[in-house]
Amino acid sequence: MICEHFNHGSVFRVGGDEFVVLLQGRGYELLDESTREFNKAAEDHIKSNEVVVSIGYSKLESGDEQLSDVFGRADQMMYERKKELKGMGAKTRE
């Protein structure tokens, strides 16, 4: 699902169910569109009882001193999206 919607980026698995997509050039230009389409697919998956994935993203900012600054913002956005999807009826692992 990630590779399908972010096909202009490099996808890396960084942990159990955590992935990172690095975007540059065309992929970066398509960030908003790709994110919108990915989120719509996730919401559609709730209705069809398929896998639901929440995502968050962050861009490098001038004040960032550590990579963890970027990842922290993305992680926070992902958890907010996860709460939204649960509110829409997404099931969680038990």
Find the angle CA(71)-CA(73)-CA(55) to the nearest 5 degrees: 80
User: Where exactly are the structural domains of the chain?
Assistant: 2-87
pLDDT in tens, 3-30: 999 999 999 999 988 999 999 999 999 9
pLDDT score, position 94: 58
Tell the burial category of 31 from Cβ atoms under 10 Å away from its Cβ (0-12, 13-18, 19+).
middle
Q: What pTM did the predictor assign?
A: 0.88
Token pair 């997509």 is at which residue? 21
What spatial distance separates the first Cα and last Cα of the chain, rounded to whole Å? 22
